[in-house]
Amino acid sequence: MDETHIPRHQRISRLPKFLFGAPYYPEHWDEETRKDDPERMAAAGVNVVRMAEFAWDLMEPRRGEFDFALFDETIARLGSRGIDTILCTPTATPPAWLTAGHQDWMRVHADDRRMAHGSRQHCCTTNPEFRAESERITDAMARHFAGNPHVIGWQTDNELFCHIAECHCAACTAGFRNWLKDKYQTVGELNRAWGTQFWAQTYDNFEQIGIPYEERPTYPNPGQHLDYMRYMSVALCEFQRGQVKILRAAQPRWWITHNGLFSYVDYWEFAKDLDFLGVDVYPAFSVTEPRKYPSASLSNETARAASGTYIVPEQQGGSGGQRPYLLETPRPGQMRLWAYQSIAHGADGILHFRWRTCRYGAEICWYGILEHDNVPRRRYAEFSQEGAELQRIGGKILGTALQAQAAVLVSCEQDDAHATMPFGLPSPGWQRHFAYTEMLARHWPAGLVDASDSFDGLQWLLIPSFVLMDEGLAAKLRKFVEEGGTLVATARTATRDKNNQVIAQTPPGLLAGLLGVTVEEFGKLDKPLLTIERPGGEAIPVGAVYEILRPRGAETLAGWSAAADGCPHAASGEPAVTLNRVGKGMAIYVGTYISEENAHALFDLLPGHDGVTPLAKADSLVEVTCRHAEDHKLYFVLNHGTGEATVRELPAGIDLISGSACSGSVTLPPFGVAIVEQK
């Protein structure tokens, strides 16, 4: 099938089987402890494990002396039970013999503290000598395992930028300067783009430019800061690309992924070198009560937006904890529920972290499927239930993609631009969370879509305060509206150019014509002095900021109302939300931010989502998504609540979990799951 013109978020992984298993660390255990692992895994339905991401010191105990015996033996034993292996490049943890005497390879904090051996990700991925060593071990592994039939794919490194992204070492400084030379060609053009006349920052040559500091003594140039964030992502892509080229050359049948997702990485670009992306999902970090389940949905959606269907190399199994914290243990049924939540959003593989809880090291309380004593208990039974179910239904899941009629736009660059100058205001990610939470509560077929992706198939699109705007994105948004889509933009959208400079035009700048409105005044609200007056309805709370709007062809949907004890200038009665009809569609401007308090009321106010058909009728603690293919649809119904839930107005079909017919409604127990197949 030609996928050239398919939006990337709709692309499928092309995996030949649904992956189910766990990360596995044979190097942490003696033979006696490992002996029953293949049988126990096979009995639980495991068909894949992930190995070797932290085992460089074992595979190369001395320079050039490679010893892959433990992994050869382990891969063969597991393979004899039908269990394949995903190998990892072990570059997050280089051995001590390699880093000794190479302090210049280490990452450097903004306060000039240099990293040291004894943890992970301490070597700088920009350093050319460390990159060469990373490619050398990758090449040795690739050549050794190229003929192994049980090795099916690779993960590059492990959670790049998980702990630290910024680095102030000499290699990063030199790399940043070279990147700037390529981008701007002349230092004069750089001075113009950064506005260096402010605070006498004008540069005479590129060698004068360093990496920006957050506070030395005050704040950095926002153009320089954003460019450095861009450079960090570009440099990381280059580091990964070196490994990917080696792996592809060694064995073309291997697929390649990575596990993320973390700040300052443009995963849209990062994923171009991969077959599909991976995301590590630990809901207990944020899902501290059932109503917060969308946090985990957003993690999955961020991967899907960058990659299409994806896998989860680390899905939460037990509790998780390191020195300063310990997460709550998932309740009975929750581990399985969270796995199906990932699948519901597009995962084609689930590996529960980890197979057995380690007895030493920094993660002795990062609980896996088996406890420290190696005794199977509740989590193993739940894991086995999940494995048996996925053995039966995994083939029906493969080849399907998430159905999305509505979307929230996502962009790493917009998040980074906000981070350069946050002003104490909520980020696009903050609004993204509450907007998408509201879409889930309404049971819309919805998701996240990257700003670089095609908008084909979408009907309703929300832009959460994208401050940067260029002509390409502006034209793309206009085309979406002209062809019948509904666009919703929130306050401060299109107020800066790609150099992170404020535009000379009245906001929303390049979108003023499309939105049919200009912004007369903007301000932050520390106290709720204003509300949005909804015609015939209750007042809508303001979301941290206000903008007084001046329609330029748009109609007013709602206006501001001021409190009696004072308000911003000329706000009372002035337009707060407008609608402009363009071509076959509508462009809506909301003069505030979307928040937890106002999301529901704002969505009620905003038109244009009549064509977005809810997938079912259910309580807001029930999550409903649909994955679709040409010949069938799968409706995932997940009860995140602690009580029984009845879901109505589903299509008729068969619940693949229970095998029972569904005539339009299902009743789920706490943490229950149904997958209704509609032919």
For the chain, the distance separating the N- and C-terminal CA atoms, rounded to the nearest angstrom, is: 21
Collapsing DSSP to helix, strand or coil, 25 comes out as coil
Tell me if 299 is assigned to some domain: no
Identify whether residues 597 and 642 lie together within a single domain.
no
Tell me if 223 is assigned to some domain: no
Give φ, ψ of 62 to 5 degrees.
Answer: -140, 150
pLDDT at 566: 64
Cα 349 from Cα 398, distance rounded (Å) = 9
Cα 320 from Cα 280, distance rounded (Å) = 13
Identify whether residues 465 and 430 lie together within a single domain.
yes
pLDDT at 216: 79
Return the CATH number at 560: 3.40.50.880
Cα 630 from Cα 225, distance rounded (Å) = 46
For the chain, the C-alpha Rg in angstroms (whole number) is 26
Flag whether the pTM goes above 0.85.
Answer: yes
Q: Which two tokens stand for residue 537?
A: 């309805």
Identify whether residues 523 and 650 lie together within a single domain.
no
Identify whether residues 416 and 560 lie together within a single domain.
yes
Q: Domain end: 605, 635, 650, which one?
A: 605
Identify whether residues 629 and 579 lie together within a single domain.
no
Tell me if 656 is assigned to some domain: yes
Identify whether residues 511 and 627 lie together within a single domain.
no
Q: Domain end: 572, 605, 638, which one?
A: 605
Cα 569 from Cα 318, distance rounded (Å) = 54
Tell me if 493 is assigned to some domain: yes
Query: What's the average pLDDT block by block, 10 residues per block, for the chain (679 residues)?
Result: 77 98 98 98 98 98 98 98 98 97 95 92 97 98 98 98 94 98 98 97 98 88 98 98 98 97 96 98 96 98 98 97 94 98 98 98 97 97 98 98 98 98 96 98 98 98 98 98 98 98 98 98 87 88 95 97 72 92 98 97 92 95 98 97 98 97 97 97
Give φ, ψ of 289 to 5 degrees.
Answer: -155, 155
Identify whether residues 576 and 659 lie together within a single domain.
no
Cα 493 from Cα 516, distance rounded (Å) = 14
What are the E-state strand segments in 98-233?
Answer: 151-155
Tell me if 395 is assigned to some domain: no
Q: What is the DSSP letter of 240?
A: H
Identify whether residues 570 and 664 lie together within a single domain.
no
Identify whether residues 533 and 657 lie together within a single domain.
no
Tell me if 447 is assigned to some domain: yes
Return the CATH number at 661: 2.60.40.1180
Identify whether residues 453 and 513 lie together within a single domain.
yes
pLDDT at 260: 86
Domain containing 442 equals 406-605
Identify whether residues 554 and 651 lie together within a single domain.
no
Give the type of residue at 409: L
Q: Which two tokens stand for residue 502?
A: 């404020």
Identify whether residues 575 and 664 lie together within a single domain.
no
Q: Provide the annotated active-site residues.
A: 159, 314
